[in-house]
Structures are given as structure tokens and as C-alpha cells.
Amino acid sequence: MAGSLTADEESRVLRTIEMFEIIVQSQPDDVGSLEILKEAYSRLDRVDDLVDTTKRMAKAYEGKGQLTSAILEYEGILELRPEDPDVRTALARLNRQAESFAERLTSPEPEPTPKPPAEPAKPDILELPKALRTAPAGEGRDGRERMRKLFVEGRHVSGETFDECWTASLLPAKPGAVADPFIQVLANRSLVPLDQSLRLLCEEARLCYVALDRYDVDLEWVRQFPREVCRRWCLLPFDHMSKSLLVATANPWNPQAAEELKAGKTARLIWYLASPPELAQVLRRAFR
């Protein structure tokens, strides 16, 4: 398959591998990034690397308790390496675990021991914590509630400051400008340093960080997406692999932006966090 790639395509795949190998070194259980690597190695016919990455994916799935996904990855390796002893050992172990789990699910429960009747009690009326209540229809489509929970309830800013900065992040920018995301507004006002906000988002959203200043983004490909959507939400579709679209953002809880970016397409979005200045720099180059 590598021979069917043009020189530019092969160069882009190699850059993708370099970047995502760095990502999975710090986030070894990030199956989304491992899947991108797996596809990239497949396109270059690098079978040894493909097998190694697939094993890493299987172990990541197993660590998450997703036994079926782990088994499927190991079975995929056997199609390439039918006699791999490590894979056969892992499959035997996982199949035993899956069978044991299925037996526990189907085993009849013992009859409960009768208990003496208790006096009827009035039911307790419990109110869910505010952060766990379902937001009314139409609210929270831009990630505001999740951001407020993280920054206000985490005592990084006051509720009043949050509302003011969130509103500022939504104000119309100058024509052709890239809007400042909420965390950039906080940094501009010397309220929360940018690196601290990014660290909080990475930990809370469990997303990987992508250093766009080290990534050779194909600007012509970026221009296939709605420029005003990318500018308004400061998000960047920075790469793609197979049917997956890799998107960098500074707000990981924005389904409205995701819907506007996809615009009816069936691509699977894989999200990464990125620094707002780096996002803005690439977007300005792409949409002059």
C-alpha cells in the first residue's frame, strides 16, 4: 500500500506518526490516538509497527475493562501473525474472563432470605447536586455549564467573573478575526494562566494535547471546512485518517461547534486540546 501513496501523502503520514507517537508516550491508554497510528502504519505497510500498535490498543482496552474490543484487536493480529505466542496467551486469558463474566450474568440469583416486615417509612426526597442536574433543553450546547463547573466550582474564578469572561468570549470579533476562546479571555485578563487552564481541561476532559506549532497542517485541506465556524469557535480540523477527522479545540464540551463543523458529514470526530494562540495562528494562515 505504501507504493500507492504519493511522496506528499507518505510525508504527511510520517509526520502524523511522529506526532502521535509523542502523544501516546504520555497517554498510553488513548485508544483514539493509537487507532490513528494503527491506520498510519497500515498505509505504509509497516507490519511490525502495526502489530505493536495493535497490541498496545488491546492492552489499553483491557485496562478499561472493554474485553470484547481487546479480543477483537488481538484477533486482528492473528490474521497477520497466526503463531504469535503472546497474542494467543492474551486471547486465552481474555476469553476465560469473558466466559466467567457471562456465567455470573446468567447464574440464577439465590432466593432472598425473608425479612421481618418493617414499619412503613416516608420516602426521603433527595435533590441532586446542581452540577448533576439535567440542563434545560437548549442550554449547555456550547459547553458553558461544564466550563462553569470546572472553573467556578473548582474555585479558580468567581461566578460573576466567569459570566463576564464567558460573555466576552462570545462577542462578535472583527470581520475575519479568530474569536478568543474562554480560556484565552481568562489569560488576557491575568485571571488564570493559559497553561493552568489547559492542564485543567486535559485532566477533566481526558483529552490529549496536540502541539500545533510542531505539526505540519495541510492548509488546503483545512480550507474545505466552513471558515466562519472555525473562526467563531476557534477550532481546527488539523488532520484526517481514514474516516476519522482530527480536530483541535480549546473547548472540549461544545456539541454545537461539532455539528456546525461536520455540516451533515458522517466523519467521526476525534478531539484534541490545543493552545488558543497556536489555533489562531494556523486559522489565520488558512483563512486569510
- What parts of the chain have a pLDDT lower than 50? 118-139
Domain ranges of the chain: 2-102, 143-205, 212-286
C-alpha cell at 187: 489569560
- Specify the pTM: 0.66
- Which of the following CATH numbers is that of domain 212-286: 1.10.340.30, 3.30.300.160, 2.40.160.10, 3.30.70.100? 3.30.300.160
Percent with pLDDT over 70 in the chain: 84
Expressed in percent and rounded to 5, the helix, strand and coil fractions of the chain are 55, 5, 35
H-run or E-run covering 239: strand 236-241
pLDDT per position as a tens digit, 82-109 = 889 999 999 999 888 877 766 655 555 5
Encode pLDDT of 240-251 as tens digits: 877 788 899 999
CA nearest neighbour of 261 among 219, 218, 220, 232: 232
Q: What is the CA radius of gyration of the chain?
A: 24
CATH fold for domain 2-102: 1.25.40
